[in-house]
Amino acid sequence: MVVDNAQSSSQPPNLGTRWHTTTFRWLFAYAGMFAISLVILIGFVDTAASNTTNRDADVVIHWQLIYFDSIPDGQLEEAIHRRLENDRIHTNFYGLFTSDGRHIAGDILTLPRDLSPDGTGRTWKHPLGIVENQGVPVFRVMGERRKDGTQLVVARDLTHVLKIREAVVSTVIGGGLLTLAIGIVGGLMLSMRQMRRVRAIRQVIGRIAQGDLHQRLPVGGRDEIDLLVHLVNHMLDEVERLMGEVKCACDGIAHDLRTPLAHVRSLLGRIAAYSIATNNDVATRMVAEARVETDTLLERFGAMLRISQIEALQRRGGFATVDLDVLVQELGGLFEPLSETKRIEWVVRSVPAMTIHGDRALLFEAFVNLIDNAIKFAPEGGKVRVELSRTGRGPRLDIVDNGPGIPIDERDAVLKRFYRGDQARQVRGSGLGLSIVSAVLRVHDFTLHIDDARPGARLTVECWPHSLA
């Protein structure tokens, strides 16, 4: 049973929204870190492959330049032609140009612009300056200026090497994405398994929070959650044992004291009869006061035992379909004579066909206590309204009076046993009526809201389950 003092209270996080859970946050954090690592790895592989390709191509071109340096200037054109005729794979390209850039020999017809003649390698990603029928998209080029002023340019085809590099990078990307997908799917499966365990634990905790201390958290995971579950179950065993001992002691005291109190009341009755027979007015008055106090004690012990009986009920053991409209009409007929005695304006409104699943006798007892308090604290000539209405989640019962009301700082305390506020001390009672209401609503998992009626108090019972599970 939950008490709401007309103020919004924080709700527990909804674990059913799995995207907001720590498990899924860690999963997607892992996926993000893996994706970033994969991008870095691909960049590293691509850079390393490019540097290695360029370095190897530069070494080959450099040795070719050394070879051509060993050939006299007059024989260089013929050596280039021989080299082109013997190049079966045709991965190398040559060009010999005058100092002013005119073509002399080779299949490189145009001197590449911005090419340094100091033997520094450079990558070209277009066939500029290459014979068109060769169709070289990417090549590595290097040039040098010979002693006679001519410029020699040597280029090497990188197409096949770059295809291998692209295949390696594509393989890394594909393998990384496949690994990431497998990791995410595996993580989702493991996370969902953990979420099912957490959901089962949460449902059991919800039932424990409702008062069913016989429940125990499910075990079987053999992990850190299982270690906590074993500790919590051990703690619940101790809590149930201690509460059972306290309850047995309290019930025993209440039960054992009822008999001697009943004997005292009977004895007081005999004394009262004797006092009346002897015309002892003082003794008669004192005995009457003693009998009133004894009746109060008996009422309190009876209420304590009733609360224990209600709390000992098995969850929903005797529940059935309850027509709240009929129940409210019966309550209206029951309290109408009492309201007429106090000249209270008595208003009962209800909506037909409002059924719930609950224990009719317990709900009748709880509503009787609430209405009795409203009439008890309403001033003579005041007003009490009982209204059953329909909401989007279920039926709601409002009991409103124009009495002194319940201060905000006492709205939690009034549900505790024996508590009586300053306004209630002038009214006869045991201080256990709302405790019985609390026990009944706890069994049904209903919620009681206490608010101001300005003047008076408004007690609202939301007649639908408020379980955490």
Residues 333 and 383 placed together within one structural domain of the fold: yes
Residues 92 and 184 placed together within one structural domain of the fold: yes
pLDDT value at residue 221: 64
Answer yes or no: are the C-beta atoms of 244 and 214 closer than 8 Å.
no
pLDDT value at residue 421: 54
What percent of the chain stands above pLDDT 90? Answer: 2
- The DSSP string of 156-199 is EE-HHHHHHHHHHHHHHHHHHHHHHHHHHHHHHHHHHHHHHHHH
**Domain final residue, candidates 311, 336, 352:** 311
Whether 463 has a pLDDT exceeding 60, the answer reads yes
Please state, in angstroms and rounded to a whole number, the distance separating the CA atoms of residues 12 and 5.
18
30-82 tens-digit pLDDT: 888 888 888 898 888 888 888 888 888 888 888 888 888 888 888 888 888 88
Residues 142 and 232 placed together within one structural domain of the fold: no
**Domain final residue, candidates 311, 337, 366:** 311
Residues 125 and 203 placed together within one structural domain of the fold: yes
Whether 301 has a pLDDT exceeding 70, the answer reads no
Whether 388 has a pLDDT exceeding 70, the answer reads yes
pLDDT value at residue 10: 40
Task: State the CATH number of the domain containing residue 161.
Answer: 3.30.450
Residues 333 and 302 placed together within one structural domain of the fold: no
Least confident of 153-162, 246-255, 438-447: 246-255
Q: Is residue 192 part of a domain?
A: yes
Bridge-partner residues for 448, per DSSP?
3, 461
Answer yes or no: are the C-beta atoms of 102 and 110 closer than 8 Å.
no
> What domain range includes position 299?
224-311
**Domain final residue, candidates 139, 174, 209:** 209
Least confident of 77-86, 384-393, 400-409, 417-426: 417-426
Residues 300 and 324 placed together within one structural domain of the fold: no
Domain count, the chain: 3
Q: Is residue 274 part of a domain?
A: yes
Interstrand relation of 383-390 and 355-358 (parallel, antiparallel or unpaired): unpaired
| Band (353; pLDDT cuts 50, 70, 90) | low
Residues 405 and 266 placed together within one structural domain of the fold: no
Q: Is residue 1 part of a domain?
A: no
pLDDT value at residue 469: 40
Q: Is residue 217 part of a domain?
A: no
Q: Is residue 3 part of a domain?
A: no
pLDDT value at residue 167: 86
Residues 236 and 205 placed together within one structural domain of the fold: no
Residues 295 and 355 placed together within one structural domain of the fold: no
Residues 173 and 149 placed together within one structural domain of the fold: yes
pLDDT value at residue 228: 84
183-193 tens-digit pLDDT: 888 877 877 77
Higher pLDDT, 14 or 444: 444
Tokens of residue 153, six digits: 């340019």
Residues 41 and 68 placed together within one structural domain of the fold: yes
| Band (256; pLDDT cuts 50, 70, 90) | low
